[in-house]
Structure 1
């Protein structure tokens, strides 16, 4: 009898436990269903794949801009099982990515990108102790004070660029790309200037194309939640895996060679200024391997972006010749015809500095920025944002917000950054005094922004001091103006623009 009673008690306890588990599971399901009703609004999608097929791979920011006008400044997408929110206003981006940076600074796990880079590009990894060490060291190597060490490289490359533009203006894009790559090799690794036929240039171009393509939204199915099972498939079934592994092995040889050269320079007592040298001499890096990874990240970030941005500037001044006239008047007044501009003129050329700000606003090279990921559940303006949600800022929408930049936000107008006396005015709120959002947000803001600003300043000043830029004329003598709606990062604006460059001096 006692034994039967004991068995009955055990059965009751077992059934009660399972009943409690069942109730808790049901309550959790109801809670999740309730919370999903609290998600931001957004377009309806299809079962399983959600909104995947509704997003343009080439220009998602234009689709997102349209949806922001329809659904509001924050809207929700389901991309093959992955929760995604898109922020379309300055207020929402600053509130979440800046003021709540502690929980919005993660990166999504991009499998192909991490395979391409071997997880060594710290701009794309999670904010762990290694990331903090890498970022702190990178900031020290590229701080406003340290950035002055690279003035000589920036002026030298600008002189070479002018010479090439004078000799061969038709291939201006090639000259911009050479100058950008050569400059980053000098700044990061201490290289002397390279010429356009150097064999390392195509390798660097390929490296950057693969990295930035893999970072784009929904580039590979395996990066999407509903298809993440693909990472367990055998290698022979996955071309993406084989290609990524082969690219990593190929690129590792190049990047290790670049860093080894910088380390050899330092070992022989060469005091040539470079990021790699500063990292090796500093106290942040625990090993040469960490310093090599850091150098590769900074090199990848800068090798193409400044040339792309300079190309957009050429297009801007062809479409808006008044900006060119005003900039050249300032250069003629301050610099004159008998010498080139220098960084000593920086404080006296506010219109040129405004041109740098405006081109990065008008056609910034990162119209969608890089994705962030939530570390925990959050609420914003009554909306529920679940943990692991990927968060994009539609920088394009922010930069063309008429409430922030005025009714002419669609146009290139450096004067928006100047007062009636031609002086630079206080910057747009929440932009870290740069006037735009191209450099990112919160703990992920670009550490190389000071060097990038300096490079664009001196290159723009050199070009406008030396040349008049006008559009090519068609057979009827009418200007053949470029199409400013072409945004593909890897589709050179040179395909729609052939500027006639007339030497002014």
Structure 2
């Protein structure tokens, strides 16, 4: 072949290659035929330019109103399918959980900032299933009943804290939920509202959520080539690495403390005992064990405390709800004792308040994203393999057809609902009370524990205290918090606000103080830890073994 003939063929081949490359590139960002509808796209970036940096839940709700309960967003090279109806969540995430239980890749949030170890965003597979099985052993419905002594004691300390320093109510609530979690997971309680581990946990989780949800973190998932950038110029990598080290120090430190106690026979039965047994056979690292237990700690501490914080805000804005709830408590319980779990069936309006709190103030405001492992269809729409699938919790909770006047805190909307949170999550989707706990195989296993903590928290708070608005020091007028002002990212909480929390009577104050005094008899006076485990604890069958090392 002559040089001339080679050049004759080379030119069209080169031109064809360029055209093919350009055509392929220009397809990036386009909405493929058959996908659910959505906002118009631009080449290369798709809908990225329309993604809000603040209050994304409001934009996602607006798109649902415009494009329907199932719509798609094209984010660079990735497809996101947003489910904004209870039925769509049921049909896909529940009924087809076999192909919707995965999580999307999170290079910054999971690989860099969590060492690929964080349970809530862990990819679906053997490792996740192993951990899920261990978690089920301590959080299933039969086990959950046995932890009431833990919840009862920590709640009594919460009440005393509100008597002594009511302005610190958020910290008291956080200590309550944190200490309950540390007992089940690590075998130790947290008696100090100023324990640095509490502050570290909430600080780390808040900053991790902001990082994982940031535009720069999502960008490297949508354009994976950016993951190959040198570390020095890669967005957020150094920050993510530093955050991981801080968080790992907390989680692995707590794990190692529990592990040493279990190995020398001094530790109490707890979730870490299961982890230790698994570590001996599966040979995973202490870092992995720390994140297994730490992931449960953050999940168990955050949702309950944030929901109770939202409930107190609701009582400021809707005092008539507070009065109605207190009337029920006074009728059923009376002034001489605290409500207990035995009052659960008789305090139906309190249960309605609990359900309304979860609906009205969804802490997981857009859910934790799922990912499809196979091509699928839903009605006339195609959902490609690898799509990110989002349960639009805010839009579902605030659907006026589902919940009239959705921003009004109205517990009576659940007056005919006698289900538990778990029963509701697995029942008729149109009647499901909330979507905070996820769906399908990723349904949060702590739902049984959370229900009991919220019931005791709400019932005893209203039994013992009145919650009212503080007065402006200048104008003398009551200060009403903005119920739509949230802080956070993947998880949210009301922006810090002030409240006046006062005991309802001296007699009730005495009941609360006496209850805590009696509870302290169960604790070592120096360490403030349990002298012995309560009778019937689910963990009591997992006795510590001394291990030769």
Partner of 2:339: 341
> How far, CA to CA, are the matches of 2:418 and 2:95 in structure 1?
30
Partner of 2:82: 86
Match of 2:65 among 63, 69, 78: 69
> How far, CA to CA, are the matches of 1:473 and 1:173 in structure 2?
19
> How far, CA to CA, are the matches of 1:149 and 1:395 in structure 2?
31
TM-score after normalising by structure 1: 0.86
Partner of 1:441: 439
Alignment check: 8 A CA contact 2:486 2:495 kept: no
Partner of 1:10: none
Alignment check: 8 A CA contact 2:322 2:462 kept: yes
> How far, CA to CA, are the matches of 2:139 and 2:246 in structure 1?
28
Coordinate RMSD, CA, aligned: 3.0
Partner of 2:207: 210
Partner of 1:484: 483
Distance of aligned partners of 1:284 and 1:347 in 2 relative to their CA distance in 1, 3 Å threshold = farther
Alignment check: 8 A CA contact 1:354 1:424 kept: no
Cα deviation for residue 90 of structure 1 reads 0.9
The DSSP-based 3-state class of the residue aligned with 2:36 is coil
Match of 2:325 among 297, 306, 327: 327
Query: Which stretch has the larger CA shift, 59-68 or 184-193?
Result: 184-193
Q: Within 5 A, what are the aligned runs for 1:442-461?
A: 442-461=440-459
Alignment check: 8 A CA contact 2:364 2:436 kept: yes
Alignment check: 8 A CA contact 2:248 2:290 kept: no
Cα deviation for residue 218 of structure 1 reads 3.8
Long gaps (5+) in structure 2: 1-12, 509-549
Partner of 1:313: 311
The DSSP-based 3-state class of the residue aligned with 1:224 is helix
Cα deviation for residue 398 of structure 1 reads 0.9
Distance of aligned partners of 1:279 and 1:416 in 2 relative to their CA distance in 1, 3 Å threshold = farther
Instruction: Give CA-to-partner distance per residue, 1:332-383, whole Å, 9 cap, x none.
Output: 1222212222223223322222211111111110110011111122221211
Partner of 2:154: 157
Distance of aligned partners of 1:285 and 1:335 in 2 relative to their CA distance in 1, 3 Å threshold = farther
Alignment check: 8 A CA contact 2:360 2:397 kept: yes
Partner of 2:462: 464
Alignment check: 8 A CA contact 1:213 1:219 kept: no
> How far, CA to CA, are the matches of 2:267 and 2:221 in structure 1?
47
Query: Which stretch has the larger CA shift, 67-76 or 37-46?
Result: 37-46
Q: Within 5 A, what are the aligned runs for 1:291-302?
A: 291-302=289-300
Alignment check: 8 A CA contact 2:469 2:498 kept: yes
The DSSP-based 3-state class of the residue aligned with 1:137 is helix
The DSSP-based 3-state class of the residue aligned with 1:403 is coil
> How far, CA to CA, are the matches of 1:477 and 1:273 in structure 2?
53
Query: Which stretch has the larger CA shift, 173-182 or 312-321?
Result: 173-182
Distance of aligned partners of 1:138 and 1:296 in 2 relative to their CA distance in 1, 3 Å threshold = same
> How far, CA to CA, are the matches of 1:301 and 1:492 in structure 2?
14
> How far, CA to CA, are the matches of 2:164 and 2:369 in structure 1?
42
Cα deviation for residue 424 of structure 1 reads 6.0
> How far, CA to CA, are the matches of 1:334 and 1:434 in structure 2?
27
Cα deviation for residue 247 of structure 1 reads 2.5
> How far, CA to CA, are the matches of 1:432 and 1:293 in structure 2?
36
Instruction: Give CA-to-partner distance per residue, 1:201-242, whole Å, 9 cap, x none.
Output: 33222321233224427451543323x222212222236222
> How far, CA to CA, are the matches of 1:443 and 1:432 in structure 2?
20
Aligned residues: 475
The DSSP-based 3-state class of the residue aligned with 2:282 is coil
Q: Within 5 A, what are the aligned runs for 1:97-496?
A: 97-114=93-110, 115-216=112-213, 218=215, 220-226=217-223, 228-238=224-234, 240-270=236-266, 272-280=268-276, 286-287=282-283, 289=285, 291-405=289-403, 407-419=404-416, 427=424, 429-430=427-428, 435-474=433-472, 475-489=474-488, 493=494, 495=496
> How far, CA to CA, are the matches of 2:345 and 2:277 in structure 1?
32
TM-score after normalising by structure 2: 0.79
Distance of aligned partners of 1:414 and 1:373 in 2 relative to their CA distance in 1, 3 Å threshold = same
Alignment check: 8 A CA contact 1:417 1:424 kept: no
> How far, CA to CA, are the matches of 1:41 and 1:413 in structure 2?
34
Alignment check: 8 A CA contact 1:222 1:231 kept: no
> How far, CA to CA, are the matches of 1:358 and 1:417 in structure 2?
8
